[in-house]
Structure 1
Amino acid sequence: MIKRILILEKNCSFIIQKLKKKGFICDENYYDSTDKINLSLYDGIILRSRLKIDNEFIKKAINLKFIARIGSGIENIDKYYAFKRGITLISSPEGNKDSVAEHAIGMLLCAMNHIIVSNQQIKKGIWNRENNRGMEIMKKTIGIIGYGNTGKSLAKKLSGFDTSILCYDTLPNVGDIYANQVDMSTIFQKSDVISLHVPYTKKTKGMINYNFIQKFYKPFYFINTSRGECVITNHLVKALKNGKIYAACLDVLEYENLLYENIFHYNQNNKQSKTFFDLIYSEKVILTPHIAGWTKESKSKMDEIIIEKIILLNQQLNSKKIMQNLNDSDSDN
């Protein structure tokens, strides 16, 4: 049974209110390190990204039954150790799939039609139509790498653009009426646009590198709204400079954790910083600050999903406990 839950992130008032109405005790702690928190008190934890939930954290949380992350990724949680301990991991990728998909399309439209660049030029008194001649999405082949919640939402939204949509995923038979599932060699051969929607794992870390990019048969537009560390940024910059990639739409950065709070005062002599400024000053790059899944609507949907999953888990645990008690009673007889 789940009784006491620790909330480690701000802006969870709706979640707290709803859970309290269901009888859960919710404690809030937004500043302390794990060394200062008595983790053994809690049956569940709700967070986003403030703390890393490693095996030492989990060892101290001896009564923990679930860890809920508001969002889609769980890379800040030692999921293998959590599974070993029988702890349920909860996330809410269903909640922001549409906002991420819309954001990806918005960035792609801006890149293909030079919307941001021409807007900036006009504000400087430059009226340049020919150099800002765009390209249409219609009739292009879109390659979606990672066909889960967000990839599927993107394909559905792109279906109205009269495109050919291909998807690649490590899981079999995930294609649908919106996207034809193919192997990576077909993605390399046919894609005009690539949109990345994979989780961050050991296998996906740095997957978009120079060798990967060179396998494409033709130049392409690249969108990353998944995780920054899936892309080796200096390899991406090289491909932008040599024309292998027409333009890059990046909502996430490889080193954003290092730059997150002090992004424009970063040491300009640092190699990563130079690469970052290459991105800033390139007219081929559109950057946004990890906001693709950060809409007002997605926040509400993710909160609702987290609440529903916690309540469902508690019901399952209670049912399991009742069945166990019944079995124990039968054994006594």
Structure 2
Amino acid sequence: MKILIIDEMHLSIMDMLKLEGHEVNYAPKITRAEILDQVASYEGLIIRSKTPMDRELLEKASQLKFIGRAGAGLDQIDLKYLETKGVKLFHAAKGNRDAVAEHALGGLLALFNQVIKADREVRKGIWDREGNRGHELMGKTVGIMGFGNMGEAFAKRLAGFDVRILAYDKYKLGFGNGQVEEVSWEKLKEEADVLSIHVPLTPETRGFFTLEEVKGFKKPIWLINTARGEVISFSTINQTLDQGILRGAVLDVLENEKFQKFTDSQKEEFERLAQRENVVFSPHVAGWTFESYVKINEVLVENIKEFFPNS
């Protein structure tokens, strides 16, 4: 097949696809206008998240057989339109699930042990042991919302820490085992000390964590969000931290990740968040390791090969 790659990828994907007999055009700097002009001649598209796969673009892709999403999130893709056209969608959540799981755990341990605060102080010659006393993860109850590739991988990383693991997934049943308790959302809210979010961005999850929703947790919790920032606003995080409903947060994603496009309200609320020592930030890199960069390619190419074995 003739395949167009429109985002930065590890260059190993070129040889992987060519080995399967595909003709590949690697064009990571291509503009949307150029994609619209050229896409009709391609049977495959491989993307990250730079360009929305909306109806305007997809209608131009008259020969399209598949889209390969180099990552997990599908919120920028018109899934209903793809379905009506019979276009196959591959995504590579298995390629970066281990990276996301390790990042979530690393962020939680850094938060519990005040690693970032302590590091900053020691560099300034401040030796404050009591002010940097930490918490142990052992003995805590960790709640996982969403038990797909990412949630399951995170649970595996927790297994050696002697924690109790509760998991809730609205669309998946029967996944409980000796290490993970499958529970209702209400039970998770009653018993969790830590909440790690692993859900996609959908109309249902966008803005799901309102102030009232977070207030529904029986105990103050630590929050980890390596999924999508739009599930909880800056304002809600600030309010729940102010009220002691949240004890701290690990945020790899933000409700708006383009600083220059913050609204006045977002700018004000983010500045408040940025002053807090019990918030750990990273720039949406949980799944962005050197290893996952290659693994994503391997997963995508294997999916294409399995579905189109004779292409």
TM-score grouping bracket, smaller chain normalisation: over 0.9
Q: Distance in 2 between matches of 1:30 and 1:140?
A: 44
How far the C-alpha of 1:86 sits from its partner, in A, is 0.4
> What is the deviation of 1:132?
1.8
Question: Within 5 Å, which residues of 2 pair with 1:79-98?
Answer: 79-98=79-98
* Contact persistence 1:209–1:236 (CA under 8 A): no
State the AA in 1 paired with 2:23: I
Taking the TM superposition and a 5 Å limit, the aligned residue runs for 1:1-333 are 3-36=1-34, 37-170=37-170, 171-256=172-257, 258-259=258-259, 262=260, 270-315=264-309
Rounded to whole Å, the distance in 1 between the matches of 2:101 and 2:179 is 14
Q: Distance in 2 between matches of 1:120 and 1:38?
A: 50
Paired residues of 2:6 and 2:30 also in contact (CA < 8 A)? no
Q: For each residue in 1:60-103, what CA deviation from the matched residue of structure 2 results, as whole angstroms up to 9, or x when unmatched?
A: 10111101110111111101110111011100111111111111
Bigger CA drift: 133-142 or 19-28?
19-28
Give the equivalent residue in structure 2 for 1:330. Answer: none
Q: Deviations over 1:81-136 (max 9, x none)?
A: 10111011100111111111111111111111111111111222222222222111
Q: 1:12 and 1:301 mapped to 2: Cα distance? A: 10
Shift in CA distance, 57/126, structure 1 to aligned 2, threshold 3 Å: same
- Alignment check: 8 A CA contact 1:225 1:252 kept: yes
Shift in Å, 1:54: 0.5
Q: Are the equivalent residues in 1 in contact too, given 2:9–2:293 (CA < 8 A)?
A: no
Unaligned ranges ≥5, structure 2: none
Alignment partners' CA distance in 1, 2:204 and 2:64: 29
Amino acid at match of 1:304: E
Say what the alpha-carbon RMSD is for the aligned residues: 1.5
Q: Distance in 1 between matches of 2:25 and 2:107?
A: 39
Q: State the identity as a percent.
A: 38
**Post-superposition shift, 1:241?**
1.6
Distance change in 2, residues 1:296/1:32 (3 Å): closer
- Which ranges in structure 1 are unaligned for 5 or more consecutive residues? 319-333
Opposite residue 247 of structure 1, the aligned amino acid is G
TM-score normalised to structure 2 length: 0.95
> 1:15 & 1:124 partners in 2: Cα distance?
45
**Secondary structure, aligned partner of 1:38:** helix
Say which is worse superposed, 100-109 or 23-32, in terms of deviation: 23-32
**Bigger radius of gyration, 1 or 2?**
1
Q: Secondary structure at the match of 2:300?
A: helix
Tell me how far apart the structure 2 counterparts of residues 103 and 11 of structure 1 sit (CA, whole Å).
Answer: 21
**Match of 1:143, as an amino acid?**
G
- State TM-score, norm by structure 1: 0.89
CA distance in 1, matches of 2:140, 2:105: 13
Preserved contact between residue 53 and residue 76 of structure 2 (Cα < 8 Å): yes
Cα shift at 1:286? 0.3
Structure number with greater CO (CA < 8 Å, separation at least 6) is: 2
Q: Answer yes or no: is the 8 Å Cα contact 1:53–1:76 preserved in 2.
A: yes
Aligned partner of 2:211: which letter? Y
The one-letter amino acid of 1:299's match is Y
